[in-house]
Amino acid sequence: MTHPSPPAKIWYEANCHCGAIAYGVHMAPLETQQVMNCNCSICCKNGYLNVYPQRADVVFRRGEELMRGYAFGEKRCVHKFCPTCGSSLFVDPHMDDREAVVVNVRMFRDIDVDRLQLEKFDGFNRLQPRYEV
């Protein structure tokens, strides 16, 4: 039985709103994958639509040193943003030596979000701490 080969990777240019931080992502075409639309508090507030490229496939052209980070809850993930314009760029999970990062496709240039295959993810209920009463 033969399996179809994965789609060839393509290059996506990305930047924050003010342009201080610019980078590129080398990954399978967005049209061939699910883009996660998470309902957790931070994804909703920041409008994240997430994909998961390999860390080595995210290449910064300028401004990487300018980024600031924010971690909340169990502080397992660091949300990276531009301190000038506030654009939410990506999430670095720093967990289990994972090679993937979480990238917000809204920062990609010339992307028609309405053409993406969005997959709803219930991060609100998955990520909420459970307290015994």
Residue 133, in any domain of the structure:
no
Helix (H, G, I), strand (E, B) or coil at 43: helix
Residue 2, in any domain of the structure:
no
In the chain (133 residues long), the average pLDDT of successive 10-residue segments reads 77 98 96 91 92 94 96 86 97 74 95 92 70 41
Q: 88-92 long-range contacts, Cβ below 8 Å, gap at least 24?
A: 88/46, 88/47, 88/48, 89/14, 89/16, 89/21, 89/23, 90/58, 91/48, 91/50
Structure token digits, residue 26: 């080398």
pLDDT of 98 reads 63
Counting the structural domains of the chain, the total is 1
Residue 128, in any domain of the structure:
no
pLDDT of 130 reads 43
Q: Alpha-carbon distance 28 to 7, whole Å?
A: 6
- Half-sphere exposure in the Cβ direction for 63 (13 Å, CA): 21
Per the structure, the complete domain to which residue 47 belongs is given by: 10-122
pLDDT of 127 reads 57
Residue 130, in any domain of the structure:
no
Residue 4, in any domain of the structure:
no
Residue 67, in any domain of the structure:
yes
Number of residues written out for the chain: 133
Residue 27, in any domain of the structure:
yes
Residue 25, in any domain of the structure:
yes
CATH of residue 83's domain is 2.170.150.70
